Homo-oligomer: A and B are copies of this chain.
Amino acid sequence: MAPSVPHSSSVPLLTSEANEKYANVNWEELGFSLIPTDYMYMSKCKQGESFSEGEIVPYGDIPISPCAGILNYGQGLFEGLKAYRTEDGRITLFRPDQNAFRMQTGADRLCMTSPSSDQFVQAVKKTVLANKKWVPPPGKGSLYIRPLLIGTGAVLGIASAPEYTFLMYVSPVGNYHTASSGLNLIVDHTYRRAHTGGTGGVKSCTNYSPVVKPLFEAKSSGFSDILFLDAATGRNIEEVSTCNIFITKGNIVSTPPTSGTILPGITRKSISELARDIGYQVQERDVSVEELLEAEEVFCTGTAMVVKAVETVTFHDKKIKYRTGEEALSTKLHLMLTNIQMGIVEDKKSWMVEINGCDE
């Protein structure tokens, strides 16, 4: 039985019978907001020790010290990945080892102990299996998985917390952006996201709350999202609030390099590989605003949104329109990637990891 009660979100939890294939969710109307599920994963580790095997527990509030590193000093990382239900009934993950690796890099930057890659991937599998009925039917969405690594030990002066918690919860999701055609971005002139020597290159929680205000302002002005320039010169494009950015011109696809101020996106990396596969030259290099304005096509990549065309970019008083739709490279790349993720075409790259049972 799945006792699916304890939860804190304001969204009422949908209960369901045991052994049923699907939770009682309106799969046609999935967006990107929390639908609490039955279970989550928890594991704790003292500073200087290693994580041992964690456990699946009912989803719900966790007790935390008011003096915890995450509450006082922002010592926390998150990840985001998805589980898919294929037409032939399998449940699969997309490159979970890459998320495990990124969490390790981030943990080193924030002085935390991280789970091993194997522990990470096993935890993802267990969490998805425990919440199997929340994986949407094929084509209706995916199960978004949110691993957290947070400093939960009490610490008064600034230092690494004496205890870390590795936690994972899930939510069925549909599209991240509701815009059907393409994104309308605005280039920000006031705020910057990250600087060299900071934490912009890891998935630290500290990169995100500073973005909430500019993102809110952009959305209030009718834009879908915000494009940040580099903090050092203000001349090059870096990253959209929650995704990487690419521009195309002719046969060349360009994207800012992962040199510490942008997130090394797993979708970014995968899309680069797919673009090369179909004959494009992919350049990871500084991309100036001028080049952006002269591009033929612009698109964004991220776990939540996969690949999304940019329809317009607004820079000062200029509003540039880009190619979108059937002819766009982003449309082709989106299809190539989602076909792999959904099991519609053969996964020749061994990107997909199948979940068959708890202990595989």
Docked pose: A36 CA to B88 CA in angstroms: 56
Given A72-B78, A110-B212, A208-B73, verify A158-B241 contact (CB < 8 Å).
yes
Residues B34 and A197 in contact, CB atoms below 8 Å apart? no
Name A's interface SS. Answer: loop
Docked pose: A159 CA to B157 CA in angstroms: 29
Which of B156, B191, B215 touches A34 (beta carbons < 8 Å)? B156
A269 at the interface (CB under 8 A from B): no
A109 at the interface (CB under 8 A from B): yes
Residues A159 and B212 in contact, CB atoms below 8 Å apart? yes
Q: What is the distance, in angstroms, from A183's C-beta to the closest C-beta of chain B?
A: 14
Given A72-B78, A232-B232, verify A204-B210 contact (CB < 8 Å).
yes
Residues B169 and A67 in contact, CB atoms below 8 Å apart? yes
The 0/1 profile, CB within 8 Å of B marked 1, for residues 78-91 of chain A is 10000000000000
Q: For window 196-214 of chain A, which residues contact chain B by CB distance below 8 Å?
A: 196-199, 204-213
Stretch at the interface among A18-26, A55-63, A290-298, A324-332: A55-63
Q: Nearest B residue to A173 by beta-carbon distance?
A: B156
Docked pose: A194 CA to B198 CA in angstroms: 8
Docked pose: A111 CA to B220 CA in angstroms: 13
Determine how many copies of this chain the complex contains.
2
Residues B197 and A190 in contact, CB atoms below 8 Å apart? yes
The 0/1 profile, CB within 8 Å of B marked 1, for residues 160-189 of chain A is 101000010101010010000000000010
Residues A66 and B109 in contact, CB atoms below 8 Å apart? no
Given A209-B204, A231-B232, verify A216-B159 contact (CB < 8 Å).
yes
A100 at the interface (CB under 8 A from B): no
Docked pose: A216 CA to B304 CA in angstroms: 35
Task: With a 10 A CB-CB cut-off, give which of A159, A188, A209 has the most chain B CB atoms.
Answer: A209
Residues A212 and B61 in contact, CB atoms below 8 Å apart? no
Which of B66, B148, B198 touches A169 (beta carbons < 8 Å)? B66
Docked pose: A195 CA to B210 CA in angstroms: 12
Which of B61, B192, B196 touches A65 (beta carbons < 8 Å)? B61
Residues of chain A touching chain B, judged by Cβ–Cβ distance below 8 Å, are: 7-10, 32-34, 36, 40, 59, 61-67, 69-76, 78, 108-111, 144, 146, 148, 150-151, 153-160, 162, 167, 169, 171, 173, 176, 188, 190-199, 204-213, 215-216, 231-232, 241-242, 304
